[in-house]
Structure 1
């Protein structure tokens, strides 16, 4: 992210600061901590503005945990980033086969040692350990779940979230082994029982995706604006750009597509607007052809 985009983000927030009641900032990637200096700078400015204009500021981050050591975590928490999601693909044996770095080495040991170090700091944070599984790794995940419970169960800052791996349109989709719906239900129940002494996060039945909300935007490193952090390659997710003066220039037709759930009040539309955007009958019903959004 270049300096112009960074300063444009600050201008955007400053323009709205006096009317804000709450500002929620979520860092996502890629790996956000590869741009640590930008994260620290913007977070410090957001915190200053929240104090000046008396609004609530909440920061969160999805990270692989590799660069997040205890000292950096303390610094980020002090700057208002108190919610974290760190993903693991099983124990060292499974994780290092799936998550291979450019140098062909695994990352598990570094991430695990970072997690252990977090137990020794007194900062108040909430951390979800998101554990991915496939039919090929489920046995390892079951064993790993027991290790996670034994290691973190006495620290209520840590939570577990078990998630089956999905095909989300990457070039590696054809090589993925994924669970059937029945397998997913079975594995979720088994993992839940294994972690019964731990706080296991479940997706609420009335969950509303951030992308469905009219006041939620994703700002990419080049200043382009979207709604969804998954459909990054889809044109429908490129809804505009952040201008250098801090204003949002939006394609209102595309923007409305993401808010269809607010019109229909359909729980499926609200839970995942992107999934429903690929259904022609949805677009045909709610967007006229002359608007050119297909």
Structure 2
């Protein structure tokens, strides 16, 4: 999710013009009302433009979902990963990311003055239980394909020998 409904739908509207936010939110409410043994990680995307509206939105997420142990939140700065529109994507500067995430995490706590639990550590996104790493096909392993990949600091955290 990118933030409250107006923010989310401005970047992720559905083809038929209806609200993708509302569909997601209604599905989350249905899961919360169920007794399904699931784990839901709400990934909230961070950009410079969305930061101002996120504290209020995260408080709404907290009050609506986080009293249910099946729900958690993952705050993720948006990345440039290559592609034709890459340069048009507004991203948080690396130097500001940790500070922004830390500030927003306080909105997720019912007591904003409480500190984060000791031992918290951010890990590679592919190490999260809802992420998968797959082996590329022979065509994708070609030198031509590899040369088009833009490396980021996260790339090395998932590599194996």
What TM-score bracket applies, with the shorter chain setting the length?
Answer: 0.7 to 0.9
Q: Please name the residue that 1:100 is paired with.
A: 13
Q: 2:122 aligns with which of 181, 203, 224?
A: 203
Contact map agreement 1:127 1:157 (CA 8 A) in 2: yes
Structure 2 residue 76 is the aligned partner of structure 1 residue 163: yes
Instruction: Please say which structure displays the higher CA radius of gyration.
Output: 1
Q: CA-to-partner distance for each residue in 1:200-248, whole Å, 9 max, x for gaps?
A: 98523xx5946xxxxx863xxxxxx528xxxxxx93389xxxxxxxxxx
The answer (yes or no) to whether the contact 1:164–1:178 under 8 Å persists in 2 is: yes
How far apart are the structure 1 equivalents of 2:16 and 2:142?
Answer: 32
- Which is helix-richer, 1 or 2? 1
Distance 1:171 1:118, change over 3 A: same
How far did 1:116 drift? 0.8
Match of 2:43 in 1: 130
Flag the structure with higher strand content.
Answer: 1
Secondary structure, aligned partner of 2:141: helix
Specify which of 153, 156, 177 is matched with residue 66 of structure 2: 153
Q: Could you tell me the TM-score, scaled by structure 1's length?
A: 0.42
How much is the aligned-residue C-alpha RMSD, in angstroms?
3.4
Unaligned runs of 5+ in 2: 147-153
Indicate the residue corresponding to 1:179 in structure 2: 92
Q: Which runs of 5+ in 1 are unaligned?
A: 1-87, 211-215, 219-224, 228-233, 239-253, 255-266, 275-285, 287-294
CA distance in 2 between partners of 1:162 and 1:208 (Å): 11
Q: Say which structure, 1 or 2, has more relative contact order (CA 8 Å, 6+ apart).
A: 2
Q: Using the alignment, how far apart are the partners of 2:81 and 2:2 within structure 1?
A: 17
Q: TM-score, normalised by structure 2?
A: 0.73
SS at match of 1:116: helix
Contact 1:161/1:202 (8 A) holds in 2: no
CA contact (8 A) 2:126 2:133 kept: no
